[in-house]
């Protein structure tokens, strides 16, 4: 397998974006990534999108989007693993370059979630759960994560304050991110007193509905060097699945797919969690960040909540988590999220994080963890300064 590098990234402004359609959002991020990378063409494209069909009635996206980028003709395909679609696009591009088939591949992600009613958006997102065994019986995503939160609280004594601390930290980081949907800070009290969605999850425990796109340029070392731009190396890529239905899982307090994906990525990279200096993780709900931090092996079960509450994962802590602001503050256009995590790691490792969001002491190695639905899919990448 050939070594694979990332040489540039691009993001649209995230939020409730009425002035850009899905194709506009994607073109925005894609052209920024190409310019940022300093390449004059791409050999192909993988685009993560969860459900263009249910949100805006448009499938066949990869073909449509290459056309709007002015690059019609190149091989292009959409990949989908619910909210892990973006990370899976990165993984597919990684494999294609590793194989020797292509030298420069774009991995992108996009979702346009606000061109429908809130009820339609909830229905579209629920397509990531098991329709026949969960959704038809009334489950929604906040409800599924609330079940996991209650199980985690019962088993490990995880508290309201620990959940709130995730939101407070991520909004603090996101307040320095120029593309974030909600770049404001929140207090522990604000989170705890925000409207209840599904007990114990309040609205400030939940990531928002977001329009947005992100893109990254993956390439060989020769291409990366020739651009003259900063680049980082992908050391490992891992993916895993688990049963989608919560009712079929042995343990509701851990994300097995994230453990499988992380183990696989660490093995490929020849690294362990102890080598990691920071992580972008999938905080679709506050409880998710806690569970993921334990599932990837950073903290013992039940120990992530206290660590987050104690500031160990703050920007200036021992192991910063979600320096970008995470899904919580930055927003969560589901298909784009996994690519945006990679974009943040690229910025952090190349010293380009804006507005004081840069992790102190120039980190040299970091990771991403992206997740589909309630943990039915997960994908992990390990990246290092080249």
Active site residues: 83, 332
Q: What is the DSSP string of 265-283?
A: HHHHHT--GGG---EE---
Tokens of 333: 């256009």
To its own copies, the closest distance from the beta carbon of 242 in angstroms equals 6
- Rounded to 10 degrees, the C-alpha dihedral 33/210/91/78 comes to -90
To its own copies, the closest distance from the beta carbon of 127 in angstroms equals 4
The candidate with the shortest Cα–Cα distance to 331, out of 48, 14, 17, is 14
81 or 345: whose CB is closer to its own copies?
Answer: 81
Among 140, 243, 301, 385, interactor with its own copies by CB under 8 A: 243
| CA atoms within 13 A of residue 303's CA, in its CB half-sphere | 9
To its own copies, the closest distance from the beta carbon of 250 in angstroms equals 11
Alpha-carbon span 42 to 34, nearest angstrom? 8
Alpha-carbon span 112 to 18, nearest angstrom? 10
The candidate with the shortest Cα–Cα distance to 180, out of 321, 326, 20, 372, is 326
To its own copies, the closest distance from the beta carbon of 302 in angstroms equals 24
Q: What is the DSSP string of 325-378?
A: -HHHHH---HHHHHHHHHHHHHHHHTT---TT-SPTT---EEEEEEEETTTTEE
The interface mask with its own copies, positions 22-61, x = CB under 8 A, is -x--------------------x-----xxxxx-xxxxxx
Among 101, 154, 203, 226, interactor with its own copies by CB under 8 A: 101
To its own copies, the closest distance from the beta carbon of 236 in angstroms equals 11
To its own copies, the closest distance from the beta carbon of 243 in angstroms equals 5
Segment interacting with its own copies (CB under 8 A) among 85-93, 207-215, 289-297, 340-348? 85-93
Total number of residues shown for the chain = 386
167: left (phi over 0), alpha (psi -120 to 50) or beta: alpha
The answer to whether residues 148 and 287 touch, using CB atoms and an 8 Å cutoff, is yes
70 or 356: whose CB is closer to its own copies?
Answer: 70
Segment interacting with its own copies (CB under 8 A) among 72-80, 167-175, 194-202, 227-235? 72-80
DSSP secondary structure letter of residue 232? E
The interface mask with its own copies, positions 352-381, x = CB under 8 A, is --------------------xx--xx-x--
Query: Which residues, at least 6 apart from 280, have a Cβ–Cβ distance to it below 8 Å?
Result: 321, 322, 323, 324, 326, 341, 342, 344, 345, 366, 367, 368, 369
To its own copies, the closest distance from the beta carbon of 4 in angstroms equals 10
314 or 380: whose CB is closer to its own copies?
Answer: 380
Segment interacting with its own copies (CB under 8 A) among 65-73, 140-148, 340-348, 357-365? 65-73
The interface mask with its own copies, positions 280-309, x = CB under 8 A, is ------------------------------
293 or 379: whose CB is closer to its own copies?
Answer: 379
263 or 275: whose CB is closer to its own copies?
Answer: 263
**Which residues contribute to the site for its own copies (CB under 8 A)?**
1, 21, 23, 44, 50-54, 56-64, 66-67, 72-82, 88, 91-92, 95-96, 98-101, 123-124, 126-132, 135, 238-245, 248, 256-257, 260-261, 264, 372-373, 376-377, 379
């Amino acid at each position: 397998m050939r070594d694979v590098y990332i040489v540039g990234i691009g993001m649209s402004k995230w939020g409730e974006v009425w002035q850009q359609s899905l194709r506009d959002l994607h073109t925005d991020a894609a052209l920024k990534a190409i310019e940022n990378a300093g390449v004059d063409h791409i050999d192909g494209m993988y685009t993560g999108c969860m459900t263009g069909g249910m949100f805006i009635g448009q499938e066949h996206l990869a073909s449509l989007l290459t056309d709007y980028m002015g690059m019609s003709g190149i091989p292009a395909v959409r990949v989908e693993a619910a909210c892990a679609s973006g990370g899976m696009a990165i993984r597919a591009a990684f494999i294609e370059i590793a194989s020797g088939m292509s030298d420069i591949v774009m991995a992108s992600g996009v979702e346009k979630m606000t061109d429908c009613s809130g009820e339609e958006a909830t229905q579209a997102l629920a397509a990531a759960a098991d329709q026949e065994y969960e959704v038809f019986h009334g489950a929604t995503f906040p409800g599924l994560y609330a079940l996991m939160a209650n199980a985690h609280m019962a088993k490990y004594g995880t508290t309201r304050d620990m959940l709130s601390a995730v939101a407070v930290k991520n909004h603090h980081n996101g307040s320095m991110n120029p593309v974030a949907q909600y770049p404001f800070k929140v207090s522990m009290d604000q989170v705890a007193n925000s409207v209840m969605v599904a007990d114990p999850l309040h609205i400030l425990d939940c990531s928002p509905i977001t329009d947005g796109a992100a893109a990254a340029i993956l390439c060989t070392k020769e291409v990366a060097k020739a651009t003259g731009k900063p680049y980082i190396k992908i050391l490992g890529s891992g993916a895993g699945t688990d049963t989608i239905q919560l009712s079929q899982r042995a343990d509701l307090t851990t994300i097995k797919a994230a453990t499988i994906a992380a183990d696989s990525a660490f093995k490929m990279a020849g690294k362990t969690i102890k080598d990691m200096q920071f992580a972008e993780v999938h905080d679709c709900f506050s409880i998710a960040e806690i569970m993921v931090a334990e599932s990837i092996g950073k903290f013992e079960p039940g120990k992530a909540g206290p660590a987050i509450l104690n500031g160990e994962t703050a920007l200036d802590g021992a192991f910063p988590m979600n320096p970008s602001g995470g899904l919580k503050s930055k927003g969560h256009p589901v298909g784009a999220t996994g690519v945006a995590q990679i974009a943040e790691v690229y910025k952090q490792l190349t010293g380009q994080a804006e507005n004081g969001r840069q992790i102190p002491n120039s980190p040299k190695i970091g990771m991403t963890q992206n997740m589909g639905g309630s943990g039915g899919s997960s994908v992990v990448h390990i990246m290092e300064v080249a």
